[in-house]
Structure 1
Amino acid sequence: MDEISPERQWRVPASLPAAKLAGAVLLIALGLLFADGDPVRLALAVLAAAALAGWAVRDLIAPVRLAVDPTGLTVIRGFAGRRLLPWPAIEAITVDRRPRLGLTSEVLEIDAGESLHLFSRYDLGTTPEEVAAELRAAQRS
């Protein structure tokens, strides 16, 4: 494998927050169209749209989910915070694969002893297996 750059980042694809915001707008439109004057239906549509929009805002505020440099890994923490995991604190970097409904889902797992950090393809913008390979190479160097 090629030598990695001194710092590498993985981020949410730009199309994902746009899709979430479009979904929020669609939920509002459907709520207005099908509420038939029922305030509960409209409130549920607005609540679901607000949750989806909040999720999209997180993607816009903190698009970088994972970064690597010679000191260790920086992972997202909370809504938009960051946490540095020094290399000695990282116990394992694995990819968990699970078949579900005819599809296989992959999740990158970073075990830092007292904390476990999970990243999907949608968090990383690429496959978890590719990221795991790069992280293992960085950890060895």
Structure 2
Amino acid sequence: MSTEPSVSTVRQWRVPVKLPVVKLAGALLLVALGLLFAEGDPVQLVLAGLGAAGLTGWALRDLLAPVRLAVDPQGVTVVTGFAGRRRLDWSAVESVRMDDRPRFGVRSQFLEIDAGESLYLLTRHDLGTDPAEVAEFLRAHRPD
């Protein structure tokens, strides 16, 4: 019998609720600024509309697939593409690690789940918590 801890129930990490709200508010602000300052310039209106559409699409992804990572005794489920999900058995997960490095003067932290030919990267914004804590949890509860 193993004395290692195991995942006895499903644990999920999701996008914080405030994130899609902020993105939608930003989209509305872009539209308002475009209408206010474009003064009939179609290029500025189109650019504001494209920016608003991009933010709205990004917010919709957060609303359609808020759970970015789920773990249970059999494996993990990660979000792929716009709002798809991929189930990975623990045997398919080669490694779980934290990537922490400065990029362009900003510190970037990613949870990396390596599944052989696929690499899944999740940020604090995806998980709603520190990626290092999630990596530690996954390593501690992964059956060997």
Normalising by structure 1, what TM-score? 0.94
Give the Cα–Cα distance (whole angstroms) in 1 for the partners of residues 118 and 107 of structure 2.
Answer: 25
Give the Cα–Cα distance (whole angstroms) in 2 for the partners of residues 47 and 79 of structure 1.
Answer: 18
1:29 aligns to 2:42 (yes or no): no
| Equivalent residue for 2:138, pick from 132, 135, 139 | 135
Runs of 5+ unmatched residues, structure 1: none
Give the Cα–Cα distance (whole angstroms) in 2 for the partners of residues 12 and 43 of structure 1.
Answer: 29
Give the Cα–Cα distance (whole angstroms) in 2 for the partners of residues 20 and 132 of structure 1.
Answer: 27
Structure 1 residue 17 displacement after superposition: 0.2
| Equivalent residue for 1:77, pick from 75, 80, 85 | 80
Matches within 5 A, 1:94-113: 94-113=97-116
Write out the 4+ residue segments of structure 1 that deviate beyond 4 Å after TM superposition.
2-5
Structure 1 residue 81 displacement after superposition: 1.0
Q: What's 2:57 paired with?
A: 54
Let me know the Cα RMSD of the aligned residues. 1.6
Q: What's 1:19 paired with?
A: 22
- Cα-to-partner distance string for 1:30-73 (whole Å, 9 max, x where unaligned): 10111111011101100110010010011011100000001100
Q: What's 1:66 paired with?
A: 69
Give the Cα–Cα distance (whole angstroms) in 2 for the partners of residues 51 and 103 of structure 1.
Answer: 23
CA contact (8 A) 1:4 1:134 kept: no
1:140 partner SS = coil
Give the Cα–Cα distance (whole angstroms) in 2 for the partners of residues 75 and 96 of structure 1.
Answer: 18
Give the Cα–Cα distance (whole angstroms) in 2 for the partners of residues 66 and 6 of structure 1.
Answer: 14
What's the % identity of the aligned pairs?
64
Normalising by structure 2, what TM-score? 0.92
| Equivalent residue for 2:44, pick from 41, 46, 52 | 41
CA contact (8 A) 2:7 2:72 kept: no
Give the Cα–Cα distance (whole angstroms) in 2 for the partners of residues 94 and 56 of structure 1.
Answer: 27
Number of residues of Structure 1 aligned to a counterpart in Structure 2: 141
Give the Cα–Cα distance (whole angstroms) in 2 for the partners of residues 45 and 36 of structure 1.
Answer: 13
Structure 1 residue 137 displacement after superposition: 1.4
